[in-house]
Amino acid sequence: MKKIKCIVVDDEPLAVSLIGNYVGKVPFLELVFSTENPIEALEFIQKNEAELVFLDIQMPEITGINFMKIVGDKMKYILTTAYSEYALEGYEHNVVDYLLKPISFDRFNKSILKAKERFPLDDAKESGHFFVKSSGQQHRINFNEILYVESIKDYVNIKTEAQEYIVLDTLKSLENQLPENFRRVHKSFILNTEKVKSIGLKKVILTSEQEIPIGESYKMNLLDKIK
């Protein structure tokens, strides 16, 4: 899985430490730089590769808004602040999300899952497999072994012929990573069309004899793929 290179910029040392700790817990994020000085962050961006900035809006040297104006759209931003009145101003720029301090890990998770959907994917489709982190370990999953993927709140359940993997991700993100033989058939399900045994009015039966619900708005797309 391709990692998103990110930096943390906040004039509060505790905030820098907290967000850096959160980043370290997420398998698809890589912390490449953190600082309490936005000028140092600007210098780092000029010389190094980074893609996502966790950026405090209220800083003495340079405000977060001015920071975004200087860097521009080559970066994506998740804004952090203790003042909710800055939210609307922040969304005028290339902002993924807005985090109000104090930031819980659960709220952080929701934010970075939104961010993940905006980044280009790696070459997993060509390789025929990808790696996911589940139960504290990295697992290689071959696409042809997947039966379906189910959304469960902030997680997805990747069901294969042998077992299942609970992964911190979104259904939309997984949909973009899977090859063309996978189709969304319900707001909460993506299935491998090569595993379809039969299609009913409101359900799809897989070769494993498992039943998956199918939404009316998705049925024609599935039938077209199978034909």
The mean pLDDT values, 10 residues at a time, for the chain of 227 residues are 89 96 93 97 94 93 90 88 62 76 94 82 69 85 95 92 90 84 92 91 90 88 75
User: What are the φ/ψ torsions at residue 13 (nearest 5 degrees)?
Assistant: -55, -40
Please tell me the number of Cα atoms within 13 Å of 123 on its side-chain side.
2
Segment 193-223, tens digit of pLDDT: 999 999 888 899 998 899 999 988 888 878 8
Contact 189, 222 (CB under 8 A): no
Give residue 90's pLDDT: 47
Contact 139, 132 (CB under 8 A): yes
Give residue 109's pLDDT: 92
Give residue 84's pLDDT: 66
List Cβ neighbours of 21 (8 Å cut-off, separation of 6 or more). Answer: none
Segment 18-41, tens digit of pLDDT: 999 999 999 889 999 999 999 999
Contact 176, 149 (CB under 8 A): no
Which of these, 214, 205, 158, lies nearest to 185 by C-alpha position?
214
How many whole angstroms separate alpha carbon 168 and alpha carbon 26? 8
| Residue with token string 């370990």 | 137
List Cβ neighbours of 194 (8 Å cut-off, separation of 6 or more). Answer: 144, 181
Angle at 72 between CA 68 and CA 78, to 5 degrees: 50
The encoded tokens of residue 206 equal 């897989």
The encoded tokens of residue 190 equal 């993506």
Q: How far apart are the first and last CA of the chain?
A: 32
Instruction: Tell how strand 76-81 and strand 95-100 pair up.
Output: parallel
Looking at residue 180, the DSSP 8-state letter turns out to be: T
pTM of the predicted model, to two decimals?
0.61
Omega before 120 cis (within 30°)?
no
